[in-house]
Amino acid sequence: MRSFRKPGLTGGMTAAFAAVSACFAFGAHAQDKTEIDFVLNWIAGGDHAPYYYAAQEGWYDEAGIDLTIQQGKGSTMAAQQTGIGKTQIGLADLGTALVAKGKGADLIAVMNIYANSPYGMYWMKSSGIGGIEDFSGHKIGNPPWDAARAMWPALAKANDVDPDSVTWVNVQPNAKLAALKSGSIDVTTSFYNIHHIFQRELGDDMGFFAWKEYGINPYGNSIIVNGEFLKDHADAVQAFVAVSQRAFAACVKEPAPCVDALVSANTGLKADNEMQNWALVVELMTDETSTTKGLGYFDEDRLKSDYELVSTYFDIEQPFDIMEAVRNDFIDTSIVVPTP
């Protein structure tokens, strides 16, 4: 069943949103809508609110897109599905998508969502750890497949820490906090968009730093498109990016309607929790490029640095030119991340 075929508007649209919606009616006709299956990187949460809001308001529909949003099971799956054309568009961590491309996945990144890396390190201050300089001799827990574990040597070397001075312990994602609180591990990794959960559970005893503040800041979640689909449906990709850019900008300005749309479409989500999630996502979206050159715009120097990082710590089976794997030409540079 196709999802979000322009349902009735809830609560009405503000004049600003009406103007934004109207701008997407360019030449879109009901009889020639492009069907797009869009797979998320994970199950729906606060960071996905803009897609659900734009869908609820009919923006994708008015832009000529018949959109189905699929729940995800990780960036690797999203990159693989999009790379083989099972889904036309996906949301995935850029580094993960680049690894998939190196294995033959036919995909191109067209917009970044996380301009900043979401990786963070967490510990309990009562353990005596004050920062990364104290990690040596301690146990860090996370899943064995976690990208943060693979990139740990880069973070360690950037901060004059011996990468081999820590012990890695296998811990499932949903067991990290319990393992930390029980003392079975001393440090763990997590994404910043659930930072509020660590704060709630650990309180003033929470130790934390963001990788981006310690020299390692690869792009995070990005919108990727199947290469063959892009060749045949460039106009639809342009429309999808245009709607998504404006939806993210609108949700930064007025988050409540966006979170309400997300919660309405996904049973079990709580508005308060997703609002906290969204506030953290805004931090991840915001950097000099996203606030000046365009929301979702990729910086070329950072892309080259990301490719070097990925090719160093992951297996790029078929090397490629990073500038042929990413495109900025779908980004409307007049739309930036709003700042206070």
Please answer whether residues 58 and 21 qualify as being in contact, where contact means their C-beta atoms are separated by less than 8 angstroms. Answer: yes
Mean pLDDT of 300-306: 97
Mean pLDDT of 169-180: 95
DSSP character at residue 299: P
- Identify the pLDDT of residue 31: 57
Above 80 in pLDDT, residue 16? no
Q: Which of the four pLDDT bands, split at 50, 70 and 90, describes residue 77?
A: very high
- Identify the pLDDT of residue 32: 85
Mean pLDDT of 223-251: 98
Structure tokens at 137: 């001799």
Average the pLDDT over each of 3-12, 43-52, 196-205, 251-260 and give the range with the smallest value.
3-12
Indicate the angle between helix axes 234-253 and 49-56, nearest 10 degrees: 110
Q: Which of the four pLDDT bands, split at 50, 70 and 90, describes residue 340?
A: confident
34 bridge partner residues: 65
Alpha helices in the chain (DSSP H): 15-22, 49-56, 59-62, 75-83, 94-102, 147-158, 176-182, 195-202, 227-232, 234-253, 255-265, 271-285, 288-292, 300-313
Residues 17, 23, 29, 35: is their CA dihedral positive or negative? Answer: negative
Mean pLDDT of 182-194: 95
95-101, long-range: CB < 8 A, 24+ apart: 95/147, 95/151, 95/218, 95/219, 95/306, 95/309, 95/310, 95/314, 96/147, 97/222, 97/224, 98/306, 98/307, 98/310, 98/316, 98/322, 98/325, 99/310, 99/314, 99/315, 99/316, 100/76, 101/320, 101/325
Residue whose C-alpha is closest to residue 39's, from 50, 48, 27, 30 = 48
Average the pLDDT over each of 22-31, 234-243, 263-272, 291-300 and give the range with the smallest value.
22-31
The residue type of 339 is T
> Side by side, which strands form the sheet with 89-93?
65-70, 34-39, 89-93, 221-226, 107-112
- Identify the pLDDT of residue 8: 34
Q: How far is CA 89 from CA 68, 220, 232, 334, in A?
A: 10, 16, 13, 23
| Rounded Cα–Cα distance for residues 259 and 202 (Å) | 26
Structure tokens at 201: 């559970």
Mean pLDDT of 65-86: 96
Q: What is the pLDDT of residues 99-134, one digit of tens each?
A: 999 999 999 999 999 999 999 999 999 999 999 999
DSSP for 225-245 reads EEHHHHHH-HHHHHHHHHHHH
